[in-house]
Amino acid sequence: MDAPLSPGLYIVATPIGNLGDMTPRGAEILRGVAAIACEDTRVTGKLLHHLGIKARMIRYDDHASDNARDGVLALAAQQPVALVSDAGTPLISDPGFKLVREAKARGIAVTSLPGASAAIVALTLSGLPSDRFLFAGFLPNKAKARREVLEELVAVPATLLFYETAPRLADALAAIGDVLPGREVAVARELTKKFEECRTGAVAELIAHYAAHPPKGEIVLVIAPPLAASPSEVDADTLLREALVHHKPSQAAAEVARLTGLDRKALYARALDLK
């Protein structure tokens, strides 16, 4: 028999759709802990059943009362306790940050067992630059707030990653087309599952595709960096054409000048020709 686990908090990543992606080490830890803190005992119960593990589960999220957090931490100070989320890596748009922060403040050992995270799977599948990326969680639901978040990130010289849901995809793509015209975008859907799909292209193409084929399931949006930071060659005419869909020639020229560093007056003249 393996040696018993030391006390502490064990952050364990779980599959994002394909149960075969549970790591052997993660499963071994789940088998060996005194309790598993999880978002939803039914969801984690199914995973444990699949793995043939019987374990005590404690419902936990970061909105839990301080008492509930204290309970998990008091246990982790004495015994091994795992933290899992419904799917993927805990703390990544999922509960756990407050628990980990407080565990470290109390001197409780924390260890993290890597595994699936939808953002990384999407980035690697997208065909967009992977050397620098910024993961920004979920885009806000409300149009104004969504726009503000995108505007805040417009000049970031990195690939952008957002979590999304199928019913909100059309609104998100429309906002991206408006605020970040000319960017290549990937829609990564149902990753690791039977109907996995990753479609990369111009925003207008993606909007048209998903209007004709309403998407289902879970989605990650991946947005290419501004042109100057991107190794892929998209010419200024393409950017101007996209910008002209929503903007007057002067605004389109200003937008493309900001994205590319090209001369605004020359772009304006070209925008008038294209119009």
Which is nearest to 61 in space by CA: 86, 89, 87, 39?
39
* Residue range at the interface with ligand SAM (CB under 6 A); choices 185-193, 235-243, 244-252, 261-269: 185-193
Q: Which stretch binds ligand SAM (CB under 6 A): 58-66, 150-158, 197-205, 218-226?
A: 218-226
Minimum distance from residue 247 beta carbon to ligand SAM (Å): 29
The nearest distance, CB 196 to ligand SAM, in angstroms, is: 7
Query: Which segment (23-31, 61-69, 189-197, 252-260) binds ligand SAM by CB under 6 A?
Result: 189-197
Nearer CB in complex with ligand SAM: 47/244: 47
* Of 29-37, 52-60, 127-135, 212-220: span binding ligand SAM (CB under 6 A): 212-220
Choose between 161 and 252: whose C-beta lies nearer to ligand SAM: 161
What DSSP assignment string belongs to the chain? -PPPPPSEEEEE-B-SS-GGGS-HHHHHHHHH-SEEEES-HHHHHHHHHHHT----EEE--TTS-HHHHHHHHHHHHHSEEEE--SSB-TTSSSS-HHHHHHHHHTT--EEEE----HHHHHHHHH-S--SSEEEEEEPPSSHHHHHHHHHHHTT-SSEEEEEEEGGGHHHHHHHHHHHSTT-EEEEEESTTSTT-EEEEEEHHHHHHHHHHS---SEEEEEEPPPGGG-SS---HHHHHHHHHHHS-HHHHHHHHHHHH---HHHHHHHHHHH-
> Total residues contacting ligand SAM (rule CB under 6 A)?
24
Cβ neighbours, 10 Å, residue 158: 18
**What would the x/- binding string for ligand SAM be over residues 95 to 134, using CB under 6 A?**
----------------------xxx---------------
| Chain residue whose CB lies nearest ligand SAM | 88
Choose which of 190, 202, 225, 244 interacts with ligand SAM (CB under 6 A). 190
Close Cβ partners of 150 (under 8 Å, ≥ 6 residues apart): 139, 175, 176, 179, 180
* Residue 181 is a binding residue for ligand SAM (CB under 6 A): no
Helix axes 169-179, 143-153, angle to 10 degrees: 50
Q: Which is nearer to ligand SAM, 20 or 107 (CB)?
A: 20
Q: Which of 88, 177, 225, 249 binds ligand SAM (CB under 6 A)?
A: 88
Q: Contact between 206 and ligand SAM (CB under 6 A)? A: no
Cβ of residue 228: shortest distance to ligand SAM, in angstroms?
A: 28
By CB under 6 A, name the one of 60, 133, 135, 163 that touches ligand SAM.
163
Interface positions with ligand SAM (CB under 6 A): 16-17, 85, 87-89, 92-94, 117-119, 163-165, 188-193, 218-220
